[in-house]
Each structure stands twice: as structure tokens, then as C-alpha cells.
Structure 1
Amino acid sequence: MVIVPVILVVAGLGGAFLFTAGERSEAKNLPIKSVNFKQLHDGTYVGEYEGGKYKWRANKVQVTVSSRKVTDIKLLEHAKNQSSASTDELFGRVIQKQSLQVDTISGATLTSKAYLKAIEDALDEAQE
């Protein structure tokens, strides 16, 4: 008697896993370009990432550049709930290293890559 509900739960979880596989694969393989931070123009720039296939990781950031260095990054909008501590840590890594080639946040790798993609979008504008 107990086996039928267990089978239904396992089947449901398996179906959900397969349903989200494309989104996870897309986010995992999201390329982050190398940006030359020394070519950035001072100003405040807004960047967005559309969030992938299901828009689960859509976000918008504001990046401040001063003296050709990223000095501040703020999360303006996001579709996925992410703790501010891990977001602040990721943004701090970008500011400290002056690079988008930073370690992602453990346990939030896919969301971290989505935030880096929005920062990349803002920095593309800062180079023009």
C-alpha cells in the first residue's frame, strides 16, 4: 500500500528533473566573456540577463565604474530568490579581482553565472 505513493512521488520528481534539465544545462554552459576592465569608461551602467529558457534567472544589475575600475554592483531585479550575502560575495569577488572570471557561489552556481552575465552586459556598454 505504501509503495504506490512512493512510486508516484519518485515519478513526479523524475519528471520535474527532466523538465528542468534544459534550463540547468543552458545555465551551466552559459559563456562569460573576458572583459578588459582597463577599457571601461566611468559612469553607471545597467545590465540585464533574460534568464534562460524559462526566465528563472532573469536579473538586472547596476554597475558603477570610477577611474576605470568597477567600484560598486547592485542587484536591481531578480526572478530567483537568492540570499543577499551570497550575492554580495559574488559581486565583491568581481570588484576585488576586476574580472568576470571569478569563482561562482557554491550551491548557487547557475544563479551566479546569470548575475555575471548581467554584469557582462553592463560592462559591454561601459566599453563603448
Structure 2
Amino acid sequence: MLRRTYDDQTCSIARTLEVVGERWTLLIVRDAVRGVTRFDGFLASLAIARNVLSDRLAGLVRHGVLERVPYQERPPRHEYRLTAKGRELVPALLALMEWGDRHLCDESGPPVVPEHADCGGRVDVHLTCRGCSAEVVPADVVPKEE
């Protein structure tokens, strides 16, 4: 996690990085989106240290990105499910994936292609103006402080 060195800044990106900015955290969210729910599933998928995984899962639960739900009583066992807040990270994950596919992919192509569950069509992230509904390119985005 980032350490706060920008106390005098008001920045939504910095606040978001406090929750999901550590490398393992976004990979945990990626796996949760893919259907991984149990501690051992994350452990196997990520090859992460148990204590680091436990810490990151606890942080995601604390911030409401995941919820910890019991699935077995004896012995007590829990799984981690994405909340609505966690599912709202899907466009950000897709944008990162698209950027990686464009700039970091090898000749074999993207390792994963996001598809629409209903029709099988390719899913892409697009910027759209809320005012006129036009598709916007990144060069046309101007930050405006409110």
C-alpha cells in the first residue's frame, strides 16, 4: 500500500491507490472477477505468501471490495466474494488489460480476451461524454477541478 505523502492533495486517484494500488491487491481482484473465492484458490493462482494474501484480503474486506462469507461450519471456513463496489473495478481492470495488450503483448497475442456472457462478443472499454454521448479519445479529456 502507498504511504500517505500527499496529505495536502485532494486526489481521487491517490485515494483509490490507497485501496487497490498495491500489486497483489489488483491481482486478487482480477482473480475474484474470474471466480476465485477461497483463500487456497488465491494462494494457488498467485503464488503469494500466505501472510501477504491474508493482509490484502483483510484490506479488501475492510474497504468493502470483497465480503467474507462462511461456507463451512466445522471447521469454520470462509470465502471471499466481490461486492457491488468490487465489481465496479471491472472497467478499470479491463482498461489496464487493454493497455497491456496494446503495449506489452508478445507475438502470440493477448492471453485473455474479455467476452460478453450473453452473446460472446468482445468487450472493450470506451470513454463516453455524459453530456452529448459522443465517444471521446484520451486526448480530448481535460481535467477540471470542481
| Shorter-chain TM-score tier | under 0.3
Q: Which has the higher contact order (CA 8 A, sep 6+)?
A: 1
TM-score normalised to structure 2 length:
0.24
More helix by share: 1
More strand by share: 1
TM-score normalised to structure 1 length:
0.27
